Amino acid sequence: MRSGKRRILLDAGLPLDGSATTLPLRVEGIDALFVSHCHPDHYGLASQLPEDLPVYLGELTWRFIRARHVFMNEDLPNFTTRFMHPWETIDIGEIKVTPYLMDHSSPEAFAFLVEADGKRLFYSGDFRGHGRKGKLLKNLLSNPPKKIDAMLVEGTTLGRKDQHQLSEADVEQELLSIAQNESGPVFIVCSGQNIDRIVSIFRAAKKAGRTLVIDIYTAWILEEMRCVTQNTPAMDWGGIKVLAHGWPASRQYATAKSQPDIFGGFLRRIYSLNADINLDTIRSNPGDYMIKANLWPIKRMLQETGTSKATIIYSLWPGYMSSEPGSRDMEIFEWINDAPSLTFKQVHASGHADLESLQALVKTIAPAKVIPIHTEMKNAYDKHFQQVCLLDDGQSLTLKNMENSKRK
Ligand SMILES: [Zn+2]
C-alpha cells in the first residue's frame, strides 16, 4: 500500500499450493513489511526483500518462525525485526498501522488497520471466532473500526464442503471422549505451533487421567510461549512429559544441542525437571499416555512398545493428507487400514472463519469496499457480501479517487 512517498507491504506469503515462488511486485522503495502471523503463506517470500528492510511482527511470531526454520534445518530468514504489540500504532511516515490481535490457529495473529491520507483500510489477516480466543472476534464486533474505506477479507473456507465446523471446544470434547473410551495409547498428529490444539489435547489428556507426551520441538515451542503468557501448559507443568531419549528424539536433540545461542539451558532443563520420558516407560503402561507424534514414526513406536491396539488421531487440515499412491503418508494410511487393532480418527477445527463469522465481521465494519484475499473463491464473494471489489494480482486500486488502474 502506498501514500505519498511511503510504501508498505502487508504480508509476503508463499502460496501453499506452490503457485508462486517470487514476489509479484517491485521491491524497491518499500519502507516496511508487516507480517500478520507466523504461517509461511504470510511471510514465506519475505526473504526476497532487501535485508535491511524493517519487518514488523510480534515477538512470538518471530520466535515461532525461528523455531520452524531451525528445526527444519533451513536458513533463518534474514529479517531486520521490529516487534509490534497489539493495538499499539506504528507510524511509517504518514502511514499509521495498528495491529489487532485476532483468534487464529496461530496464537499471535494480527489484523491491521491502516490509516493514511484521510483513508482507512482494514486487513483481516487470517482469523476465526471458534477458537480459544473467540472473544477477540466478539470484542471486535462490539467495537469495530469505523469509516473503513476498504476491507481486505480472507475467505479460506469459502467453497469448502465442510462448512459445518467443529469449534476448538468441540475438539477438546471429542478428544476427551476418545481418551476416556479407548484403552490403548492415543497418538495424535497435529502442529506443535497450534497452541489452541496443544491446550485441547493437554486438557483432554488430563481429564482422562493420561499423561501428554510431546517431542522436544513442541516442548521448545511451549517454552517460547512464555514471552507472551504463563498460562499455557509447558514441560514444568504436571501431566506433560517430553520424549527426550533414543531415536524418536535424536534429530531434534541434536538441533537444540548444536545451537546453544538460541536454546541455552533448555535441554538440560528437560532432564533436571524430570520432564523426560522414554519408550521403555511408555511400554510398561501404554494406555496411560496421549502421545503427540508425526505420522511416520508411529509405526516403529508401536512396534518398539510392543503395542498392537492403539488409536491414531489426525488433527490437521485434511488437505494436508497426501493421498498420492506411493507417498509416505499413503503407505502409513494403508498400514493403519490393514491393522484391525488400530483405530483412525480425524478431529480438527479450522483456523479460519466460517461464512457466518466472515459475514458478521464485514456487516459490522460495513466498509465502502470489500476486497477478497486469501481465497480460491473470490468470484463467490458477490453472493455473500455487499460492495465487493474484485482485484487481480498486481492490480492497484486508488482509494482517493476511487479509480482502478492496472499497474504496468
Ligand atoms: Zn494462518
Q: Are residues 336 and 373 in the same domain?
A: no
Q: Are residues 240 and 319 in the same domain?
A: yes
Q: Are residues 241 and 104 in the same domain?
A: no
Q: How far is the CA of 87 from the centre of ligand 1 (A)?
A: 19
Residue 358, H or E segment: helix 355-365
Q: How far is the CA of 118 from the centre of ligand 1 (A)?
A: 30
* Residue 129 DSSP one-character state: S
pLDDT bracket for residue 408 (50, 70, 90): very low
Q: How far is the CA of 311 from the centre of ligand 1 (A)?
A: 28
Q: Are residues 331 and 364 in the same domain?
A: no
Q: Please identify, among 346, 377, 393, the residue that sits at the C-terminal boundary of a domain.
A: 346
* Residue 128 DSSP one-character state: B
How confident is the model over 276-311, as pLDDT tens digits? 999 999 999 999 999 999 998 999 999 888 788 999
- pLDDT score recorded for residue 386: 94
Q: Are residues 59 and 122 in the same domain?
A: yes
Q: How far is the CA of 222 from the centre of ligand 1 (A)?
A: 19
Q: How far is the CA of 257 from the centre of ligand 1 (A)?
A: 30
Q: How far is the CA of 40 from the centre of ligand 1 (A)?
A: 8
d(CA 97, CA 90): 5
CATH number of the domain within which 198 lies: 3.40.50.10710
Place of cell 476416556: 180
- pLDDT score recorded for residue 86: 97
Q: How far is the CA of 50 from the centre of ligand 1 (A)?
A: 24
Q: How far is the CA of 182 from the centre of ligand 1 (A)?
A: 32
Task: Output the nine-digit C-alpha cell for 228.
Answer: 507472551
Is there a contact between 74 and 1 (Cβ–Cβ < 8 Å)?
A: no
Q: Are residues 314 and 358 in the same domain?
A: no
Nearest by Cα to 62 from 373, 46, 330, 52 = 46
Q: How far is the CA of 168 from the centre of ligand 1 (A)?
A: 16
How confident is the model over 111-144, as pLDDT tens digits? 999 999 999 999 999 999 999 999 999 999 999 9
How confident is the model over 344-365, as pLDDT tens digits? 999 999 999 999 999 999 999 9
Triad 186, 189, 136: Cα angle to 5°: 110
d(CA 190, CA 313): 9
Q: How far is the CA of 46 from the centre of ligand 1 (A)?
A: 15
Q: How far is the CA of 300 from the centre of ligand 1 (A)?
A: 32
- pLDDT score recorded for residue 163: 57
Q: How far is the CA of 103 from the centre of ligand 1 (A)?
A: 10
Dihedral sign for Cα atoms in the order 84, 90, 93, 94: positive
How crowded is residue 122: how many other Cβ atoms within 10 Å of its Cβ? 25
Residues linked to residue 56 through DSSP beta bridges, in sequence order: 34, 82
- pLDDT score recorded for residue 402: 45
Q: How far is the CA of 68 from the centre of ligand 1 (A)?
A: 14
Give the number of domains in the chain. Answer: 2
Q: Please identify, among 312, 346, 380, the residue that sits at the C-terminal boundary of a domain.
A: 346
- In whole angstroms, what separates CA 365 from the centre of its chain? 25
Q: How far is the CA of 250 from the centre of ligand 1 (A)?
A: 29
Q: How far is the CA of 105 from the centre of ligand 1 (A)?
A: 7
Is there a contact between 125 and 137 (Cβ–Cβ < 8 Å)?
A: no
Q: Are residues 385 and 338 in the same domain?
A: no
Q: How far is the CA of 37 from the centre of ligand 1 (A)?
A: 7
Residue range 48-76: average pLDDT?
Answer: 95
Q: How far is the CA of 319 from the centre of ligand 1 (A)?
A: 14
Q: Are residues 292 and 391 in the same domain?
A: no
Q: How far is the CA of 65 from the centre of ligand 1 (A)?
A: 13
Is there a contact between 317 and 160 (Cβ–Cβ < 8 Å)?
A: no
Q: How far is the CA of 38 from the centre of ligand 1 (A)?
A: 7
Instruction: Provide the residue range defining the domain that includes 200.
Output: 168-346
Q: Are residues 324 and 176 in the same domain?
A: yes
Is there a contact between 194 and 292 (Cβ–Cβ < 8 Å)?
A: no
Task: Inform me whether the pLDDT recorded for 252 exceeds 90.
Answer: yes
State what percent of residues in the chain have pLDDT above 70.
97
How confident is the model over 167-188, as pLDDT tens digits? 999 999 999 999 999 999 999 9
* Residue 369 DSSP one-character state: -
Q: How far is the CA of 39 from the centre of ligand 1 (A)?
A: 5
Q: Are residues 235 and 284 in the same domain?
A: yes
pLDDT bracket for residue 166 (50, 70, 90): very high
Residue range 153-162: average pLDDT?
Answer: 85
How crowded is residue 266: how many other Cβ atoms within 10 Å of its Cβ? 17
Q: Please identify, among 314, 346, 378, the residue that sits at the C-terminal boundary of a domain.
A: 346
Q: How far is the CA of 109 from the centre of ligand 1 (A)?
A: 8
- DSSP string covering 197-251: HHHHHHHHHHHTT-EEEE-HHHHHHHHHGGGT-S-S--TTSTTEEEE-SSHHHHH
How crowded is residue 322: how many other Cβ atoms within 10 Å of its Cβ? 14
d(CA 375, CA 204): 33
Q: Are residues 8 and 132 in the same domain?
A: yes
φ and ψ at residue 145, rounded to 5 degrees = -65, 140
Task: Inform me whether the pLDDT recorded for 379 exceeds 80.
Answer: yes
- Length of the chain equals 408
